[in-house]
Chains A and B, each alone.
Chain A
Amino acid sequence: MEDLILRYVSRIVVPFVQLYGLYVVFHGHLSPGGGFSGGAIIGASMILYALAFNLAAGTKKISHDLSLILESSGGLIYAGVGLLAIFLGANFLGNMVAGFPLGTPGNLFSGGAIMLITLGVGIKVAATMITLFYSLIEEEQATDEHH
């Protein structure tokens, strides 16, 4: 389906949506929101793009393989930050005790490991939404061809 208005509007809207998503992710330790909500916003922007254009255009931006890698690496970042704390001599997910720099409270660079963790969660959630969407569409196309 070719819809000019939809394509134009989404082309304008998608960057802002993504920027807002990144804002929510990076301010997870300062304001409401965080990894999950920010990741969901970024994921939704990619789904909007793929819906307004088509799957081929969407996969050109983020391929199924890339979303798979991002999905796994999001989880691995979280676990990795936790394990890093063990290597630094604290308990799992230790923050200040493990020696993560805390920064100034209220600034963007504060909270130590929390920002890395929300980043991991954000990547994970965004990539999961995109992967799920691709999987559903590809399944649909596979069954369409089958019939």
Chain B
Amino acid sequence: MNAAHHLPVLAIVLPLVFAYLMPLFDRWRRGWCTPAALGVLAVSFVASLAMAWQVMTGGPYYYQMGNWPPPWGIELNIDYLAVFTAITMTGVSLVVLVYASKDLLHELKPHLLGWYYTLYLLLVASMVGMALTNDIFNLFVFVEICAIAACGIISIKSNKECLEASFKYLILSTLGSGCLLLAIALLYMVTGHLNFTYIAQALPEAMRLYPYNILAALALLLVGMGVKAALFPLHVWLPDAHSSAPSPSSAVLSGLVIKIYAVSLLRVLYQVFPADIFEVTPVLNILLWMSTLAIIAGSMFAIVQEDIKKMLAYSSVAQIGYVFMGFAIVDFFALTGGILHVFNHAMMKAMLFMAAGAFIYSTGVRHLSGLKGIGHTMPVPAVAFAIGALAMVGIPLTNGFISKWYLVLGALHDGQPFFAAVILLSSLLNGIYYLPIIVNAFFSEPQGRVAAPLPLPRQMQVPLIILGLGCLLFGIAPSLILGLIYRASEALLGL
């Protein structure tokens, strides 16, 4: 037995195993829940880093489940994009879980903590699975696990808003799953394969024979993944779901869950569908305009919000637009920017939601105008919020600048300066709603509950500090992660 060879499957299965163990720990050894959940996510994170090292030194490789070779068995594809996504998912979810271990004691009934960890570990396992899998039906299974677990971590608070929001999410994401399943069925019908590599080989021939089936599959795939990733006209479930959920859930839902669907769509569009289908149908153009609308409209909606978490949720609608824009401009730099933004936005938005959660934890204030002077009484979350907000706007020295820089570079390089202008305009819009909060936080006198907040536990401060430093680190030294992303984009574009 050679553990290094089995890392991909361990990164998925160990969180799953501990998800099953959590209810038992919760019943008889409640003290073990938090360390066990943190430990297994740490193992998963280390496994992802080790896989990245393997891939960077030895090149991408495949892992066959049960030693069954590809057309029959399920295969995991450990390539550059997969390890990048796995690192993002496990790393950020580990940091968020540290925060959650204290925050949830205050937001949930105590007997629900173990069940929350179950859902959380299922969610992470499914996201790592979606990142690594090379089998389209396996992808669907992970999508389903992810959708159920995501609904669970919203509705676990069981007040009226959470239940309503998670029900809405459940219905719409089931609609998305239905579309996805139909798309998979259509692809399987015309190609006879479920493995990405084999579908990709069979599709050029099948496209000549059954063009409409494949176009329908493409459309269904776009809608299915679009609903789940909250791409602009399909985003209606997101603001309620992400603002009413417990803060750690919001952080992981906004930071990670919507991204994983975007990455899966990217993989299917670039690696499964033949490049000439994009000459027949303007799919990438549609995606480009939807993302443009998302960027502008998401920011517009965010400007008029009064509730801090609702504002952050609408900001996610805009930010997922950047990711899709990077994917839709077929250009090396834009794709790099889009993939990089998955990582950067995961850190920024998780940090912003956790900072907002810290404000709510200590003061109970959710209203933006009520947070004046919070920088004086709660410096750590306020500074973290400021770093996150500056990164959202795209100020140099923060990581948000780097990904926007690459997106603008890509748009100009591809000869579409209009989209570069869209990104610049949206940075201004981001400034309109983020900067006043920072100014109010640091340059006003604290009043009311803000003047005397409850002390913030250390477990809730450390994740904010880690992610804050991370945002600055990857803004100053982006090459730490860019090497991996360059290779991922090269592989996707076939350079």
Residues of A with Cβ closer than 8 Å to B? 65, 68-69, 71-72, 75-76, 79, 82-83, 85-95, 97
Q: Which of these, B13, B19, B21, B24, contacts A92 with CB under 8 Å?
A: B13
Q: Which of these, A72, A83, A86, A94, contacts B21 with CB under 8 Å?
A: A72
Q: Nearest B residue to A76 by beta-carbon distance?
A: B20
B16 in contact (CB, < 8 A): yes
Q: How far is the CA of A92 from the CA of B16 in the complex (A)?
A: 14
B17 in contact (CB, < 8 A): yes
Q: How far is the CA of A85 from the CA of B68 in the complex (A)?
A: 13
B6 in contact (CB, < 8 A): yes
Question: B6 to A72, Cβ gap below 8 A?
Answer: no
Query: Which residues, 40 to 99 on B, are CB-close (under 8 Å) to A?
Result: 63-67
If A68-B27, A76-B20, A79-B17 touch, whether A94 touches B6 (CB-CB below 8 Å) is no
Residues of B with Cβ closer than 8 Å to A? 1, 6, 9, 13, 16-17, 19-21, 23-24, 27, 63-67
Query: What are 21 A-B contacts defined by CB distance under 8 Å?
Result: A72-B20, A72-B23, A72-B24, A75-B17, A76-B17, A79-B13, A79-B16, A82-B9, A85-B66, A88-B1, A90-B66, A91-B66, A92-B6, A92-B9, A92-B13, A92-B63, A92-B65, A93-B66, A94-B66, A97-B66, A97-B67
> In the assembled complex, how far is the CB of residue B373 from the closest CB belonging to chain A, in whole angstroms?
41
User: Residues of A contacting B9 with CB < 8 Å?
Assistant: 82, 86, 91-92
Q: Nearest A residue to B9 by beta-carbon distance?
A: A92
Question: B6 to A86, Cβ gap below 8 A?
Answer: yes
User: Residues of B contacting A93 with CB < 8 Å?
Assistant: 65-66
If A76-B21, A86-B1, A89-B1 touch, whether A65 touches B27 (CB-CB below 8 Å) is yes
User: Residues of A contacting B65 with CB < 8 Å?
Assistant: 91-93
> In the assembled complex, how far is the CB of residue A77 from the closest CB belonging to chain B, in whole angstroms?
10
Q: Nearest A residue to B26 by beta-carbon distance?
A: A68
Q: How far is the CA of A83 from the CA of B21 in the complex (A)?
A: 15
Q: How far is the CA of A90 from the CA of B67 in the complex (A)?
A: 7
If A76-B17, A79-B17 touch, whether A91 touches B6 (CB-CB below 8 Å) is yes
Q: How far is the CA of A68 from the CA of B98 in the complex (A)?
A: 26
> In the assembled complex, how far is the CB of residue A55 from the closest CB belonging to chain B, in whole angstroms?
19
If A92-B9, A94-B67 touch, whether A87 touches B1 (CB-CB below 8 Å) is yes
> In the assembled complex, how far is the CB of residue B246 from the closest CB belonging to chain A, in whole angstroms?
20
User: Residues of A contacting B21 with CB < 8 Å?
Assistant: 72, 76
User: Residues of A contacting B27 with CB < 8 Å?
Assistant: 65, 68
User: Residues of B contacting A76 with CB < 8 Å?
Assistant: 17, 20-21
| Extra A-B contacts (17), CB below 8 Å, given A65-B27, A75-B17, A86-B9 | A68-B23, A68-B24, A68-B27, A69-B24, A72-B23, A75-B20, A79-B13, A83-B13, A83-B17, A86-B1, A86-B6, A87-B1, A91-B64, A92-B6, A92-B13, A93-B66, A97-B67
Q: How far is the CA of A90 from the CA of B9 in the complex (A)?
A: 12
